[in-house]
């Protein structure tokens, strides 16, 4: 019998419910923001205030009674505005692929099976997997990638449809995956405090487009990401940003930009890490040569002129 105990523990783990929490203020889940200050997103979230609380909902993404990351969700477009996370180390555990919905957005009675979609229900305020049928080349693309999850629990938590958008498959599998790998490599090697503990903050968002998947879920026109951390080895704060149009990839390479460039792209007063020491006008491209080729970081763009 003793040899059955590990198996039983695994089965109990896999059956554990998702207890996400829809709250009225970003401050409830502020542990995932640098200095506990949320981003600013023009016309949506400014000065820590959600401008239209009937439309935009704060979700403390929670699994096994612990918060894992935070999402600001657009119930009209049925996609997240952004997801934010405090990265604390190289992840462990296998990939998880069981997609979930957020019951509280639909005022569904919470129960032990609430992490699973009810295939008999049509959801009014969020997407479900049926919306991705006949997807015309789009797939469920994570904002916060499962690869950033510290353990199997965080990985499972990212597989919620409130953390996903319709993303062109070649873009998701190509340039965007490379961005995720590059940022993670920087976080792992350089984002360490004085105690050599990994700590970095990421915010990943989507800009709504003009088209809808199956006449229900908005197809973002662009995805963006930003990160910031203090590096004890460099004795400085580090930051960078990336964004790219949600179109067929075609071998594109998304260059690393400054936070200021991202803010201008999103429009004032948008800001990924307001009121912090994150540098606005520098990137981390000078660190890329020290990283493995597997990190997929883009080569710096040459500014030299051929004779």
pLDDT digits (tens, 9 = 90+) for 12-67: 333 333 445 676 678 788 999 999 999 999 999 999 999 999 999 999 998 777 78
Span 194-220, mean pLDDT? 95
Span 223-233, mean pLDDT? 97
Q: Is pLDDT above 80 for 92?
A: no
Strand, helix or coil at 174?
Answer: helix
pTM above 0.85, yes or no: yes
- Answer yes or no: are the C-beta atoms of 165 and 206 closer than 8 Å: yes
Residue written as token pair 């050599």: 196
Residue written as token pair 């639909």: 106
- Under CATH, which number does the domain 15-295 receive? 3.40.570.10
Instruction: Work out the widest C-alpha separation in the chain, in whole angstroms.
Output: 77
Give the pLDDT of residue 22: 78
Span 123-135, mean pLDDT? 86
Give the pLDDT of residue 109: 43
pLDDT digits (tens, 9 = 90+) for 261-274: 999 999 999 999 99
Domain ranges of the chain: 15-295
Which pLDDT band, with edges at 50, 70 and 90, does 148 fall under? Answer: very high
pLDDT digits (tens, 9 = 90+) for 167-206: 999 999 999 999 999 999 999 999 998 889 999 999 999 9
- Report the chain's mean pLDDT, rounded to a whole number: 86
β-pairing verdict for 45-46 and 49-50: antiparallel
């Amino acid at each position: 019998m003793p040899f059955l105990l590990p198996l039983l523990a695994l089965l109990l783990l896999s059956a554990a419910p998702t207890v996400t929490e829809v709250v009225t203020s970003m401050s409830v889940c502020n542990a995932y923001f640098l200095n506990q200050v949320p981003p600013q997103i023009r016309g949506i979230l400014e000065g820590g205030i959600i401008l239209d609380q009937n439309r935009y909902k704060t979700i403390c993404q929670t699994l096994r009674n612990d918060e894992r990351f935070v999402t600001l969700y657009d119930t009209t477009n049925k996609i997240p505005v952004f997801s934010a996370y405090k990265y604390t180390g190289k992840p462990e555990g296998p990939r998880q692929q069981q997609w979930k919905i957020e019951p509280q957005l639909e005022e569904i009675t919470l129960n032990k099976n609430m992490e699973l979609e009810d295939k008999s229900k049509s959801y009014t305020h969020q997407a479900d997997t049926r919306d991705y049928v006949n997807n015309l080349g789009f797939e469920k693309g994570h904002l916060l990638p499962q690869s950033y999850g510290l353990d199997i629990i965080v990985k499972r938590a990212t597989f919620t449809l409130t953390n996903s958008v319709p993303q062109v498959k070649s873009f998701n599998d190509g340039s965007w995956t490379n961005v995720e790998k590059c940022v993670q490599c920087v976080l792992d090697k350089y984002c360490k405090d004085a105690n050599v503990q990994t700590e970095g903050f990421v915010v990943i968002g989507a800009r709504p487009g003009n088209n809808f998947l199956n006449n229900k879920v908005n197809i973002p026109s662009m995805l963006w990401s930003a990160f910031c951390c203090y590096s004890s080895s460099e004795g400085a704060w580090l930051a960078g940003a990336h964004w790219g149009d949600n179109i067929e990839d075609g071998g594109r390479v998304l260059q690393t930009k400054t936070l200021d460039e991202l803010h201008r792209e999103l429009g004032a007063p948008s800001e990924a890490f307001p009121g912090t020491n994150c540098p606005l006008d520098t990137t981390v491209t000078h660190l890329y040569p020290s990283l493995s080729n597997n990190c997929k970081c883009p080569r710096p763009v040459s500014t030299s002129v051929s004779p």
